[in-house]
Amino acid sequence: GAVVSQHPSRVICKSGTSVKIECRSLDFQATTMFWYRQFPKKSLMLMATSNEGSKATYEQGVEKDKFLINHASLTLSTLTVTSAHPEDSSFYICSARGVGGRDYEQYFGPGTRLTVT
Amino acid sequence: DAKTTQPPSMDCAEGRAANLPCNHSTISGNEYVYWYRQIHSQGPQYIIHGLKNNETNEMASLIITEDRKSSTLILPHATLRDTAVYYCIVSSLNTNAGKSTFGDGTTLTVKP
């Protein structure tokens, strides 16, 4: 099946700094990518949907100036957490939806564990 | 997207069939039922999806009621590695509208 990678898998940063998380579709072109966050023992919460070459659509309550999403190519989307604070510590997961073949499926990345100290 | 309701937890004996129910009474005509599972600290894994017919693949079977208001995921011979949180989601195929909203899922524990 299709593979989605995320980098880094874990990151620790100091409060006030920015962190960039990359999401790549390795063997298919992803026209749409989704970003989720997940707190311990909770379900995934959709943060935003991004289509290649256009601005991301953010879910209600998600600050677009704090969580910058760029989907510059059909294989790469990035999430930048700006001015991170301890409450931003979470598990961030991306998923990608592709063109052709089994494009009804969302393929999920392995997640990125962000810890803000 | 339609909301789904699942029991919070279920146990299953190893080697037995695990039947996970899901209610999606507000599903609309163009929405598919998808099932994913998430093993601790990993990204969700696609299992199966369907529209109105029952579906089977190498991982599981999906039974959708005739009125499409509920479905059941069946793992025919559960193993310890099937212990995970299982999410039932309804979503359309249209890319712009096809975002997946996750509910709380069912934590399946397979016991030896």
List, in sequence order, every beta strand (DSSP E) within A14-101: 19-25, 30-38, 44-51, 57-58, 67-73, 76-81, 90-98
- Compute the average pLDDT of residues A43-68: 91
Q: Which of B43, B87, B101 sits opposite A111 (nearest CB)?
A: B43
pLDDT in tens, B8-23: 999 999 999 999 999 9
Tokens 């880094």 sit on residue: A8
Mutate to test the interface with B, among A29, A104, A115 (most CBs of B within 10 A): A104
Return the biggest CA–CA distance within chain B. 43
Instruction: Output the six-digit token pair for B60.
Output: 């599981």
* CB contact (8 A) between residue B46 and residue A1: yes
* CB contact (8 A) between residue A108 and residue B43: yes
Tokens 């962000």 sit on residue: A114
Helix (H) or strand (E) holding A115: strand A112-116
Instruction: Output the six-digit token pair for B101.
Output: 């909203």
Instruction: Output the six-digit token pair for B16.
Output: 């037995």
The answer to whether B57 and B63 are in contact (CB under 8 A) is: no
Instruction: Report percent pLDDT > 90 for chain B.
Output: 74
DSSP label of B71: E
> Which residue of chain A has the CA closest to B106?
A43
- How many residues can be counted in chain A? 117
**The pLDDT value given to residue B95:** 45
* CB contact (8 A) between residue A43 and residue B104: yes
pLDDT in tens, A60-100: 999 999 999 998 888 999 999 999 999 999 999 999 887 65
